[in-house]
Amino acid sequence: MVKGYVIGVDYGTDSVRSIIVEAASGAEVASSVFYYPRWRDGLFCNPSKNQFRQHPKDYVEGLELTIQQCLQQAGASVRSNIKAIAVDTTGSTPVAVDKTGTPLALTPGFENNPNAMFVLWKDHTSTKEAAEINEHAEKFDVNYLQFVGGIYSSEWFWAKLLHVLREDEAVRKACYSWVEHCDWIPYLLTGGNDARKLKRGVCSAGHKALWSADFNGLPPDEFFSSLDPLLKGFTSQLFTDTYTSDKPAGTLSKEWAERLGLSTDVVIGIGAFDCHMGAVGGQIEPYHLSKVMGTSTCDMMVVPIKDMEGKLVRGICGQVNGSIIPGMIGLEAGQSAFGDTYAWFKNLLAWPLETLLKSSSVVTPEIAEKLKAELLDKIVPELTRQAAALPLDVNSELAIDWLNGRRTPDANQELKGAITGLSLGTDAPRLFKAWVEATCFGAKAIVDRFNNEGVPVKGLIGLGGVAKKSPYIMQVMADVMNMPIRIHKSEQTCAAGAAMFAATAAGLYPTVEEAMNTMGQGFDAEYKPNPNAAAIYIKRYKQYLETGDKLEKEPSAAPTYTNA
């Protein structure tokens, strides 16, 4: 019988969560969450410029605090039987490091420099650089973008590196290498002090950094140096080998063992992106699209290697051998804004509460603060209730969900969201309904791309906060897709997936699949399409595609529709 406990650490956009799991059953015995204080206060970010940076101190403080709190909850007997730790993070979220592998923001002189911090996945300051990479790639006989859907995104590794090097001379001179968040945390825990020895996961390398076994590693120096001389020689400071996440990165360093009160025998697994480990935590199946639905979405699929021979899916975020489950091809797609769309709309409606209520002459400041908190909590639930009660109408308000650009299909982060069909009868619930439908239409466009490229989507699995908390959105999703969607029972599929990888890296299970099947918690809900709604959404989706096509070609175009 499998004995021992493992720790899964999940770095999200706003917080880091750690859980302790019993390896034999997958039962969660402790959990803790830490909200990044600098990020919460809006430091180092400039939304008007699409600049979103996170300080490594937020990550380090959260790592230590959440694991310590979990261990305190679990007790001494569990503490002495911790076998492994594995980590997932958002991505692509890279950072400039020195020769020791230390993020520059943790070194003197760079403490408050955003360019020396982690460039969060949603940072779109490098759209120009991404466009240059796409144009430049066409000059080569080898298609170096073939395994990332044929289009490079501003959300990814090389575009962000080139932008930072161009923008900041001080960082450029101090930067020795460029490291993904998911690779740096295991390096930190294992006590790494030489950037050249930092182990890189195939997940981040293959999906974001253009690494491929077909290229014998990264594209050649010529590809990058001819793009911009600032990149000359940079590949020699990066990596050639990559590792799947079922492998150990090493063991816990003496320093971190003392900080956490654990043994130096604790295995540290190779890191990966949250959506990839989340798909495993949510018990992904071949040809079933696992949708991790949070601030954005990541859509994951695994396919047997033999079934993908000769197939390249256009316009997605990559297809990489071993990136989700070792021995299978992992495919990734997603939307740049999902939960962020609803949060944006809530914040829009909350503007008077945030700006005017505090200066009210009718209520005291204390009551104003309590009133604001109460109403903020009620906005989305009440919008949801009223939107769900609205009748479906082919010609009601229609939105395009590109508020943070479009990730897939066919990445274009310069696109903007839009809404049409407004009238004096349009109210907040109708607009909310339009945005819910838009995010579901965006999800269907991804499914259509897989199907059209010969990789059929045979089922849907819903994971993450939105999937668990919003039956209305999930029902609309099922209706728009005209497919059932199963919702995984676990509240923390990403952290649970990290725990499964930890158990495998420690040798408690021989394969990730066995860990997943034994430790998985199963499904607790299923939404089936309503035939009448599905029929209406076929017409609505056609309008969505036509509107999006016009906006992309002519941003000022104003579409009109009939009942056809």
**Using one digit for the tens of pLDDT, what is the confidence trace for 489-512?**
988 999 999 999 999 999 999 999
- CATH 3.30.420.40: which residues of the chain? 5-282+490-523, 339-488+530-553
Residue 227 banded pLDDT, cuts 50, 70, 90: very high
Q: Across all residues in the chain, what is the average pLDDT?
A: 96
Q: Work out the pLDDT band at 558, boundaries 50, 70, 90.
A: very low
Determine the average pLDDT of the residues in 294-321. Answer: 95
* pTM of the complete model: 0.90
Just give the CATH number of 5-282+490-523: 3.30.420.40
Cα distance between the two ends of the chain = 62
Backbone angles phi, psi at 319, to 5 degrees: -135, 120
Maximum alpha-carbon separation in the chain: 71
* Entry field: residues in the chain: 564
pLDDT at 564: 40
Of the pLDDT bands very low, low, confident and very high (cuts 50, 70, 90), residue 294 is: confident
Closest by CA to 430, choosing from 475, 375, 383, 394, is 383
SS3 assignment, position 161: helix
Q: Please give the average per-residue pLDDT across 355-361, as a whole number.
A: 91
Name the token pair of 366.
């204390």
pLDDT score at 563: 45
C-alpha to C-alpha distance for 298 and 392, rounded to whole angstroms: 28
Orientation angle between helical segments 471-481 and 428-452, nearest 10 degrees = 40
Residue percentage of the chain with pLDDT more than 90: 95
Query: What CATH superfamily is the domain 339-488+530-553?
Result: ATPase, nucleotide binding domain (3.30.420.40)
Contacts of 547 (CB under 8 A, 6+ apart): 398, 400, 418, 420, 559
Q: Averaged over 343-358, what is the pLDDT?
A: 95
The whole-number pLDDT of residue 464 equals 87
The mean per-residue pLDDT over the stretch 519-531 comes to: 96
Find the mean pLDDT for residues 419-434.
98
8 A C-beta contact, residue 95 and residue 278: no
537-542 mean pLDDT: 98
Tell which wins on pLDDT, 506 or 554.
Answer: 506
pLDDT at 280: 97
pLDDT of 111 strictly over 80: yes
pLDDT for 479 equals 98
